[in-house]
């Protein structure tokens, strides 16, 4: 991807070995520090380049479930109060009020609980409830397919909840090109499509095949509380326009477009994504996770084994959990989409912020790319760039950049191998299980320039604070890593082409062109002068 940033504040750092591991368990600090010039840069013998980050326009913290429509009791339901809907080709039936059958279409018109089971090979369930109140759809062994449109559509409801009954297996499928030709803005374009706030959860399983376009879409907010979800789509996998929140569950996404998406471009409420738990695996033809506003990872595991860009948003904030990204282009990309080329532009309100957790990035271009600022003050971060010289970098930061110290490993590590750095007292300073192979450079606030550290590798199941079962493969000295400046970077790409018509997981259209303007700051970022709206 062509990069078009610019200016004296740009700090692009690329390790000569093309891979960097950053570990910072406390405040960033360096030894032998000297003052920089106009940009107040502090240069340390162990850090390469470090600039104090100005967070005056960036609020601390992350959103929670309380900032969404969802409640902890959303998944509670009583079978005695439920309207029973039995699905059968040519013979569907309703026992109770609020629903009716017309051929192979079941229409639900009132708030309440609806217990669905059975199979429709070419049918549809439509929720159209103008009344205030929750519509709860309990799926208990549902296999629902439509050859001409979205099989499960919520056109109106005060709020919609899809409950996966305990132990149940449920499948929703559309057909190739069934909805792709409808150009109305709010026309159903996903296998599970909702115009209302949508909550999904339960102790069952749901498989969603998006053979026409997206798999799961809410045009408002989308919260996943639990469940076992398997999703494939020719375009986007799981999309909550206003926000997408994952609290728990096991989620597997294979998408030709973006895997996870929140694309509300409203300047006052730009879309945001929160991973607060669960185990997510996201394979994407475009971005693993893409939000106009912010992406937050607080807990859980987010694995992106293949993507064009791993995570992309105006604010990327990781405070805990585990993130692993493999990307053909940039790994993590913080951008507001306002960089227009020609000069190194620092975008206001753009920040990549890591304060905890474990992050691994294996990228074909920039490992971590911020068109604004970047700060790593906690957690463990492993970054590898296959193109770390020649115009790309392990780090590509237009503005201020806080980073810890640096050492260079001399031996390649293997995927699935535990790697630990140990000081002369036997204390493990940093430890991680590699999600890919390479020869990393290691940076840590605990590293002391001129001090030697033993490198131990071995079985992944070795405790992070122990070397039992590991083998010492070498010794490295802090401050001896060769650190080089990268080349120019750039802004956000535009939307991709139209979705393809192949099976789920097949790529959609081609890569988009140059990005346009984006919305205002996300939750956790205050508006500042110059922010694009």
User: What would the pLDDT profile of 288-303 be if each residue is shown by its tens digit?
Assistant: 999 999 999 999 999 9
- Per-residue pLDDT, 210: 97
- Per-residue pLDDT, 177: 66
Parts of the chain belonging to CATH 2.160.20: 72-349
What is the C-alpha separation between 29 and 20, in angstroms, rounded? Answer: 17
- Per-residue pLDDT, 396: 86
pLDDT along the chain (533 residues), means of 10: 33 36 36 25 32 70 95 95 98 98 98 99 97 96 97 98 99 78 73 98 98 97 99 98 98 99 93 98 98 97 97 96 95 81 73 90 88 86 70 77 72 90 91 83 68 92 95 84 40 44 38 39 39 30
- Per-residue pLDDT, 346: 87
| Alpha-carbon separation of residue 320 from 21, 89, 274, 386 (angstroms) | 17, 48, 12, 26
DSSP state letter for 413: B
Instruction: Provide the sign of the torsion angle of the four alpha carbons 279, 283, 288, 289, taken in this order.
Output: negative
User: Global pTM?
Assistant: 0.82
- Per-residue pLDDT, 510: 39
- Per-residue pLDDT, 387: 66
| Tokens of residue 484, six digits | 């080089």
Residue 528 backbone phi and psi in degrees, to 5:
-130, 160
Percent of the chain residues past pLDDT 90, beyond the cut: 56
| Alpha-carbon separation of residue 287 from 338, 365, 502 (angstroms) | 18, 14, 19
pLDDT tens digits for 165-221?
999 999 999 988 665 455 566 789 999 999 999 999 999 999 999 999 999 999 999
Helix (H, G, I), strand (E, B) or coil at 67: helix
In this structure, which topology does domain 72-349 adopt according to CATH?
Pectate Lyase C-like (2.160.20)
Helix (H, G, I), strand (E, B) or coil at 80: helix
- Per-residue pLDDT, 484: 32
Contact of 217 with 189, CB cutoff 8 Å: yes
In the chain the first and final C-alpha atoms are separated, in Å, by 24
The residues, any chain, with a CB within 8 Å of residue 73's CB and separated by 6 or more, are none
Contact of 375 with 50, CB cutoff 8 Å: no
What is the C-alpha separation between 357 and 354, in angstroms, rounded? Answer: 8
């Amino acid at each position: 991807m062509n990069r078009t940033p610019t200016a004296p504040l740009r700090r692009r750092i690329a390790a000569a070995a093309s891979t960097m591991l950053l570990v910072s368990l406390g405040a960033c600090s360096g030894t032998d520090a000297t003052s920089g010039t106009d940009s107040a840069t502090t240069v340390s013998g162990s850090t390469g380049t470090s600039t104090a980050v100005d967070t005056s326009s960036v609020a601390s913290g992350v959103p929670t479930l309380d900032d969404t429509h969802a409640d902890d009791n959303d998944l509670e339901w009583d079978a005695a109060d439920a309207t029973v809907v039995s699905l059968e080709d040519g013979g569907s039936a309703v026992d109770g009020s609020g629903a009716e059958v017309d051929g192979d279409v079941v229409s639900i018109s009132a708030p309440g609980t609806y217990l669905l089971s059975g199979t429709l090979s070419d049918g549809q369930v439509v929720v159209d409830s103008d009344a205030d109140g929750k519509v709860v759809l309990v799926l208990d062994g549902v296999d629902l397919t439509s050859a001409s449109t979205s099989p499960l559509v919520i056109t109106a409801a005060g709020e919609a909840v899809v409950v996966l009954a305990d132990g149940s297996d449920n499948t929703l499928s559309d057909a190739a090109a069934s909805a792709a030709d409808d150009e109305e803005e709010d026309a159903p374009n996903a296998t599970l499509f909702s115009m209302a706030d949508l909550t999904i959860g339960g102790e069952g399983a749901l498989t969603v095949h998006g053979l026409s376009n997206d798999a799961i879409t809410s045009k408002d907010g989308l919260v996943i509380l639990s469940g076992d979800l398997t999703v494939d789509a020719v375009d986007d996998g799981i999309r909550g326009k206003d926000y997408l929140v994952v609290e728990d569950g096991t989620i597997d996404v294979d998408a030709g477009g973006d895997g996870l998406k929140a694309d509300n471009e409203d300047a006052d409420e730009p879309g945001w994504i929160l991973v607060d738990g669960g185990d997510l695996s996201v394979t994407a033809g475009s971005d693993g996770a893409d939000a106009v506003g912010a992406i937050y990872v607080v807990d859980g595991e987010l694995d992106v084994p293949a993507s064009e860009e791993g995570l992309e948003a105006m604010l990327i904030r990781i405070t805990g959990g585990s993130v692993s990204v493999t990307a053909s282009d940039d790994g993590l990309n913080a951008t507001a989409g306002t960089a227009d080329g020609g000069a190194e532009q620092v975008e206001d309100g753009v920040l990549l912020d890591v304060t905890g957790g474990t992050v691994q990035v294996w990228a074909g271009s920039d490992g971590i790319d911020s068109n604004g600022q970047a700060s790593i003050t906690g957690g463990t971060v492993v970054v590898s760039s296959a193109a770390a010289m020649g115009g790309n970098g392990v780090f590509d930061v237009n503005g201020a950049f806080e980073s810890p110290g640096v050492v260079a490993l001399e031996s390649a590590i293997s995927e699935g191998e535990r790697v630990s750095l140990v000081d002369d007292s036997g204390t493990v300073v940093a430890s991680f299980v590699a999600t890919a192979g390479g020869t990393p450079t290691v940076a840590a606030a605990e590293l002391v320039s001129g001090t030697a550290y033993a490198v131990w590798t071995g079985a992944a199941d070795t405790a992070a604070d122990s070397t039992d079962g590991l083998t010492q493969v070498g010794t490295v000295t802090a401050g001896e890593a060769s650190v080089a400046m990268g080349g120019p970077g750039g802004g956000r790409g535009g939307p991709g082409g139209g979705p393809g018509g192949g099976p789920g997981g097949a790529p959609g259209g081609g890569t988009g062109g140059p990005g346009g303007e984006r919305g205002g700051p996300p939750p956790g970022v205050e508006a500042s002068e110059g922010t694009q709206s």
